[in-house]
Amino acid sequence: MIRVLTATAVLFGLLSGPVFAADFVLEKPHTQVEFVATHLALSRVHGHMPMVSGTATIGPNDLPTAVNVTFDAAAIDTQYEPRDKTLREQYLETAKYPTITFVERGVSGTPSAFTMIGDLTIHGVTKPVSLAFSVDAAATLKGKRNISYTGTGKIDRRDYGMTFGPLLNGFLVVGNDITLTIETTAVEQ
């Protein structure tokens, strides 16, 4: 009887102990950042930027405790090459600043709605940003934990040293506010 009680106590202790964080890689084929900018105060232009690399440490409740992501600014794609060339050369200056990075500084909230604070570096300028995220789904596939996330946020391009902008009939060709949508799947290593 004492052995059964001792074994039960040990098992309970193991099951109720702290959940340790695990290392994850953000999958390239399932990670994308979409940005939306206003064009001439009339229409919205959508673009994408591929991820170069991304890692995360995921803690309890599938909330990330550390995220480090690099995007390829030189591969910006709005489905219109002349515009892409202007964004690369004049706005982002990708010859000098070929990547965009994000490093998480903290999260708060629940899996269904959490805020991620981090440092975003664009055009050689690093500024803190706040992004609203949620855990979309989690599953174990081929013995590895997979967790998908969606996040949104807004930045002002002027905060990153892109204060210029040609005017056409008094309107900015590219608006100052840029809306970001991030989708990713993190896979346990």
From the list 131, 60, 124, the residue with the least C-alpha distance to 96 is 124
Contacts of 27 (CB under 8 A, 6+ apart): 184, 185, 186, 187
Output the pLDDT for position 38. 84
Does pLDDT of 138 surpass 80?
yes
* Burial zone of 181 (CB within 10 Å; 0-12 exposed, 13-18 middle, 19+ buried): middle
CB 103 within 8 A of CB 68: yes
Please state, in angstroms and rounded to a whole number, the distance separating the CA atoms of residues 64 and 108: 10
- Looking at the chain, the whole-number percentage of residues with pLDDT higher than 90 is 72
Chain-centroid distance of CA 88 in Å reads 20
Domain 20-188, CATH = 2.40.128.110
Torsions phi, psi of 95, nearest 5?
Answer: -65, -35
Instruction: Provide the H-helix boundaries in 41-175.
Output: 81-86
Please state, in angstroms and rounded to a whole number, the distance separating the CA atoms of residues 176 and 58: 33
- Looking at the chain, the whole-number percentage of residues with pLDDT higher than 70 is 84
Amino acid (1-letter code) at residue 57: T
Output the pLDDT for position 176. 87
pLDDT digits (tens, 9 = 90+) for 93-133: 999 999 999 999 999 999 999 999 999 999 999 999 999 99
pLDDT digits (tens, 9 = 90+) for 39-89: 777 789 999 999 999 999 999 899 999 999 999 999 999 999 998 998 999
Looking at residue 134, the DSSP 8-state letter turns out to be E
Looking at residue 79, the DSSP 8-state letter turns out to be S
Please state, in angstroms and rounded to a whole number, the distance separating the CA atoms of residues 123 and 88: 10
Does pLDDT of 173 surpass 80?
no
Which parts of 40-124 are beta strand (E)?
43-49, 51-58, 64-72, 99-110, 113-122
* Burial zone of 55 (CB within 10 Å; 0-12 exposed, 13-18 middle, 19+ buried): middle
